[in-house]
Amino acid sequence: MSDDIPEPDRIEGAPHPRETPVLFGQSAAEASFLEAFNAGRLHSGWLITGPRGVGKATLAWKIATFLLSQEPDQSDGLFGAPPPPETLHVDEDHPDARLVQSGAHPRLFIVRRPYDDKTKKLKADITVDAVRGVKGFFHMSATDGGRRVVIVDAADELNRNAANAILKELEEPPANTTMLLIAHQPSRLLPTIRSRCRELRCGQLGA
């Protein structure tokens, strides 16, 4: 996104979630995701919920970077399988982490409110046009066979047509794809979207 166009998923005065190196106070959500990953029970859809400003987007970007950095084949090699990861941390010099930081990772797709060139403002909702790119992204052949990740920030802002388009992708996800939906008020989402995702709840932060 151009420097003069506002980023809808950035809180004014704060670094973008992809630039936030440390996630505070959400160790339970982080551990819950890692437990599912290490047990081989990784859902294709995750709903990251909680109040505004507690780190939901930071968690989503950490999960995305973690998944994108995983080797496609983790089967036993000459020295056995690698130990299961204990954190979501990925070294900032890792090639995938650097691509994520630059906003140029080919296996990461972001769905957020689009910029209206006519009004020179961000649109009030995430439109179906903003979601249509997901289908092409999912059906694009991953040249390195790695996992593909979609972040929707925020799912509360999907208009009805966009929500139905996201639901279709959640119902028929391709192999090795993960969708991370951030929601401040999950009760506003279609019940069918909620039922297709596993929830990761981010709690209030202490003082």
The CATH number of the domain holding residue 101 is: 3.40.50.300
Region of 184 on the Ramachandran plot (φ > 0 left; ψ -120 to 50 alpha; else beta): alpha
pLDDT score at 158: 97
pLDDT score at 81: 72
Is 13 within a domain?
no
Is 110 within a domain?
yes
Beta strands of the chain (E only): which ranges?
A: 45-49, 108-111, 115-116, 121-122, 148-153, 177-183, 198-201
Is 156 within a domain?
yes
Is 8 within a domain?
no
pLDDT score at 19: 73
Is 180 within a domain?
yes
Integer CA distances (angstroms), 160 to 3, 109, 167, 178, 190, in order: 30, 20, 10, 22, 9
pLDDT score at 183: 97
Is 75 within a domain?
no
Q: In terms of pTM, does the model score above 0.85? A: yes
Question: Greatest CA separation found in the chain?
Answer: 59
Picking from 94, 28, 104, the residue whose alpha carbon sits closest to that of residue 67 is: 94
Structure token digits, residue 33: 């995701």
Identify the domain containing residue 172 by its residue range: 25-70+88-201
Residue ranges for the chain with pLDDT beneath 50: 1-2
The count of domains in the chain is 1
Picking from 126, 194, 132, the residue whose alpha carbon sits closest to that of residue 157 is: 126
d(CA 18, CA 36) in angstroms, rounded, equals: 23
Is 77 within a domain?
no
Q: Could you give phi then psi for residue 31, rounded to 5 degrees?
A: -65, -35
pLDDT score at 7: 74
d(CA 164, CA 192) in angstroms, rounded, equals: 9
Is 18 within a domain?
no
pLDDT score at 20: 75
